[in-house]
Structure 1
Amino acid sequence: MQYSEALDYLYSRLPVYHRIGPKAIKPGLTNTLRLCAALGDPQHKFKSIHVGGTNGKGSTAHMLAAVYQAAGYRVGLYTSPHLRSFTERIRINGQPIDEEDVADFVTSQQALIESIEPSFFEVTVALAFLYFAFQEVDVAVIEVGLGGRLDSTNVITPAASVITNIGFDHMDILGDTLPAIAAEKAGIIKAGIPVIIGETHPETEPVFRAKATQEAAPITFADQQVRVQDRGLLRGFRQVLVSQAGESDSLFELGLTGGYQRHNLAAVLATVEMLQPIWPVSKEALQRGVREVVTLTGLKGRFQLLSDEPRVYVDTAHNKPGLEALMETVASLSFDTLRIVMGVVADKAASSLLLTLPSSAVYYFCQASSPRSLPALLLQAEAAEVARFGEVYSDVNVALDAARQDAQGNDVILITGSNYVVAELINL
Structure 2
Amino acid sequence: MTYQETLDFLFNALPMFQRQGAPAFKKDLSNTLALCDHLRNPEKKFKSIHVAGTNGKGSTSHSLAAILQKAGYKTGLYTSPHLKSFTERIKIDGIEIPEDEVVQFVKENKTFIENLKPSFFEMTVAMAFWHFAKESVDVAVIEVGMGGKFDSTNVILPEISVITNIGFDHVQFLGNTLPEIAGEKAGIIKQRIPVVISQTQVETKPVFIQKAQSVSASIKFADESWQIKKAGVSEGLVTYEVIHKEEISHLNFGLLGNYQRFNLPGILETVHQLKKSGWEISEIALKEGLEKVASLTGLKGRWQVLETQPMTICDTGHNIAGFTEILDQLKEYEYDALWMVLGMVQDKDVSEVLSKLPKEAHFVFCEAKIPRALPASELAKKALDYELKGQIVPEVNEALTFARKNAGKNDLIFIGGSTFVVAEIDEL
Q: TM-score, normalised by structure 1?
A: 0.98
Describe the shift of the 1:17–1:122 C-alpha distance in structure 2 as closer, same or farther (beyond 3 A): same
Find the counterpart in structure 2 of residue 409 from structure 1: 409
Structure 1 segment 104-183 matched on structure 2, within 5 A: 104-183=104-183
Distance 1:360 1:256 in 2: 28
Shift of 1:120: 0.6
Letter in structure 2 aligned against 1:372: R
Shift of 1:314: 0.5
- Is residue 270 of structure 1 aligned with residue 269 of structure 2? yes
Structure 1 segment 355-374 matched on structure 2, within 5 A: 355-374=355-374
- Is residue 17 of structure 1 aligned with residue 37 of structure 2? no
Letter in structure 2 aligned against 1:224: E
Q: TM-score, normalised by structure 2?
A: 0.98
Contact 1:26/1:118 (<8 A) preserved: no
Q: Deviations over 1:224-259 (max 9, x none)?
A: 01111012322221121111116x322111111000
Shift of 1:358: 1.6
Letter in structure 2 aligned against 1:349: D
Distance 1:424 1:398 in 2: 11
Distance 2:420 2:113 in 1: 27
Structure 1 segment 28-427 matched on structure 2, within 5 A: 28-245=28-245, 248-276=247-275, 277-427=277-427
SS, match of residue 295 in structure 1: helix
Unaligned stretches of 5+ residues in structure 1? none
Letter in structure 1 aligned against 2:266: A
Contact 1:310/1:410 (<8 A) preserved: yes
Distance 2:336 2:235 in 1: 22
Letter in structure 2 aligned against 1:39: L
Distance 1:86 1:113 in 2: 18
Answer with 335-344 or 52-61: which moved more. 335-344
Q: Percent identity?
A: 50
Shift of 1:213: 0.3
Q: How many residues align?
A: 427
Q: Deviations over 1:20-65 (max 9, x none)?
A: 1021013211110010011010111100000000000000000000
Shift of 1:394: 2.6
Contact 1:305/1:314 (<8 A) preserved: yes
Contact 1:240/1:252 (<8 A) preserved: yes
Unaligned stretches of 5+ residues in structure 2? none
Shift of 1:155: 0.1
Distance 1:290 1:360 in 2: 36
Distance 1:356 1:271 in 2: 34
Shift of 1:344: 0.3
Letter in structure 2 aligned against 1:203: E
Distance 1:141 1:170 in 2: 23
Find the counterpart in structure 1 of residue 3 from structure 2: 3
Distance 2:312 2:97 in 1: 30
Q: Deviations over 1:171-211 (max 9, x none)?
A: 00000000000000000000000000011111000000000
Shift of 1:355: 1.8
**Aligned structure 1 segments of 4 or more residues deviating by more than 4 angstroms:** none
Distance 2:239 2:361 in 1: 27
Contact 1:75/1:139 (<8 A) preserved: yes
Letter in structure 1 aligned against 2:384: A
SS, match of residue 275 in structure 1: helix
Shift of 1:409: 2.6
Q: Deviations over 1:91-130 (max 9, x none)?
A: 0000100000001100110111122111110010000001
Distance 2:237 2:406 in 1: 28
Letter in structure 1 aligned against 2:215: E
What RMSD, in angstroms, separates the aligned Cα atoms of the two structures? 1.0
Distance 1:116 1:273 in 2: 41
Shift of 1:153: 0.1
SS, match of residue 21 in structure 2: helix
Letter in structure 2 aligned against 1:267: G
Shift of 1:142: 0.1
Letter in structure 2 aligned against 1:192: R
Distance 1:72 1:338 in 2: 44
Distance 2:320 2:142 in 1: 24
Distance 1:339 1:241 in 2: 32
